[in-house]
Amino acid sequence: MTLKNDLLLRAARGEKTERTPVWLMRQAGRILAEYRAVREKAGSFISLATTPELAAEVTIQPVDILGVDAAIIFSDILVIPEAMGLPYEMIEKRGPWFPNPVQTQADVDRLKVSDAETDLGYVLEAIRITKRDLNNRVPLIGFAGAPWTIFAYMIEGSGSKTFSKAKRMLYTDPQLSHTLLQKITDSTIAYLKGQITAGADLIQIFDSWAGILSPEQYRTFSLPYLKQICAAIQEVPKTVFAKDAWFARAEIAQLECDTIGLDWTMNPAESRQLVGLNKTLQGNLDPCVLYADYQTIEKEVKNMLKAFGPQRHIANLGHGVYPDTDPDKVRCFIETVKAYSH
Ligand code: CP3
């Protein structure tokens, strides 16, 4: 059961790697014509995500087509609210939408702590099929949203520039907020443990809306729940990616995680200084660099690799790849990382 390519896991654990491993957030998706074909066959995003054979197929596509050093299970962070009793829809070109967002304590009381096997069995099955079909070529990444980011969608009911409804709840009803955050956390821990039992080799927590909180709010409403999750998961390496939370890097470094994800606003040397030597850093090329010509992409990727140095770095973008990116430019990003030797 040993992996043929375990660069990602060695980098995460702080072991020596002969080159920097590389993968992309949102690599399984709309950049690939092969994804769009399977998505068409499934009919909708949600039916694709809930059909394990198809989810496994699109999970493996970037490994075959792009040559990345890891697969990430095809799913969404919003499966947790759904499993807790708050269903969502994915509106074409607009994004997620919750018909009944959480507004009152009674709404919170109606939600349950979800069970991984009974409520999210389709994701676990997709992981098992993916592991079988990957045949140990590369590690498989499991994931979940951070409790704060999940809370933001459950209260707001959709995406938003400001998430002002969700932030209003933090100020007007901190008690309701903590009760809901704890229910999300308990559901998430069970879910991640289920993913690991099913075969996930590393897990990543996406705190996509970290950056809209003040440092004080982040300390109160996000970090304590991330801390519980990191403490509960001991089986595999853990990555925390808190988008735009440049102000919280030193505190995130106190979590029991192995890797910290950086977006493109976070300077690699400054981040290393803030988090110390005992964490791996992941990131952080601006996804918009992939709109440039090949020469510029190569130059920018090499600058990034130099800035992070040869060890304890996992190359990635600073956020998910944008859907209108040319797959050949993505390939250029990956090939440049692979060819670069320090
Ligand atoms: O390749 C991978 O990274 C695995 C798949 C994955 C998806 N969503 C599939 C998806 C992952 C890791 C996610 C995480 C996710 N989902 C996050 C955290 C990462 C981030 O971007 O900050 C968030 C915030 C969501 C919520 C979400 N899902 C939004 C806001 C949207 C609509 C806008 C968008 O970016 O597409 C989705 C839809 C979604 N999730 C799609 C995919 C492939 C597009 C739907 C489609 O194909 O029709």
Q: How far is the CA of 342 from the centre of ligand 1 (A)?
A: 33
Query: Which amino acid, residue 341?
Result: S
Sign of CA dihedral 15, 285, 218, 157: negative
Give domain status of residue 313, yes or no.
yes
Average pLDDT over residues 193-197: 98
Cβ(28) – ligand 1 distance below 6 Å: yes
What residue's CA is closest to ligand 1, atom 11?
Answer: 76
Q: pLDDT tens digits for 280-323?
A: 999 999 999 999 999 999 999 999 999 999 999 999 999 999 99
Query: Which amino acid, residue 245?
Result: A
CATH number of the domain where residue 303 is located: 3.20.20.210
Give domain status of residue 153, yes or no.
yes
Confidence at 104, pLDDT banded by 50, 70, 90: very high
What residue's CA is closest to ligand 1, atom 31?
Answer: 95
pTM (predicted TM-score): 0.97
Give domain status of residue 89, yes or no.
yes
What 3 state SS string does 205-267 have?
A: EEECCHHHCCHHHHHHHCHHHHHHHHHHCCCCCEEEEECCCHHHHHHHCCCCCCEEECCCCCC
Q: pLDDT tens digits for 115-133?
A: 999 999 999 999 999 999 9
CB atoms within 10 A of CB 94: 10
pLDDT for position 341: 72
Look at residue 223 and tell me whether its pLDDT is greater than 90. yes
* 153 annotated binding-site participant: yes
Tally the domains of the chain: 1
pLDDT for position 34: 97
Cβ(36) – ligand 1 distance below 6 Å: no
Q: Is 82 helix (H, G, I), strand (E, B) or coil?
A: helix
HSE (CB half, 13 Å, CA atoms) of 186? 11
Give domain status of residue 166, yes or no.
yes
What residue's CA is closest to ligand 1, atom 48?
Answer: 45
Look at residue 1 and tell me whether its pLDDT is greater than 90. no
Distance of alpha carbon 62 from alpha carbon 65, whole angstroms:
5
Give domain status of residue 1, yes or no.
no
Q: How far is the CA of 132 from the centre of ligand 1 (A)?
A: 24
pLDDT for position 93: 86
* 319 annotated binding-site participant: yes
The values of phi and psi at residue 39, to 5°, are -60, -40
pLDDT for position 131: 98
**76 among known catalytic residues:** yes
pLDDT for position 285: 98
Q: Which of 25, 76, 140 to mutate to test the pocket of ligand 1 (most atoms within 8 A of CB)?
A: 76
> Pick the catalytic residue: 19, 76, 107, 291?
76
pLDDT for position 308: 98
pLDDT for position 259: 98
Average pLDDT over residues 188-216: 98
92 Cβ contact list (under 8 Å, min separation 6): none
Give domain status of residue 43, yes or no.
yes
pLDDT for position 59: 98
* 263 annotated binding-site participant: no
Q: pLDDT tens digits for 33-71?
A: 999 999 999 999 999 999 999 999 999 999 999 999 999
> Pick the catalytic residue: 30, 128, 137, 331?
30
Cβ(74) – ligand 1 distance below 6 Å: yes
Q: pLDDT tens digits for 265-275?
A: 999 999 999 99
Distance of alpha carbon 259 from alpha carbon 279, whole angstroms:
5
339 in Cβ contact with 299 (< 8 Å): no
Domain that holds residue 279: 7-340
Look at residue 342 and tell me whether its pLDDT is greater than 90. no
Give domain status of residue 99, yes or no.
yes
Q: pLDDT tens digits for 147-165?
A: 999 999 999 999 999 999 9
pLDDT for position 105: 98
Give domain status of residue 2, yes or no.
no
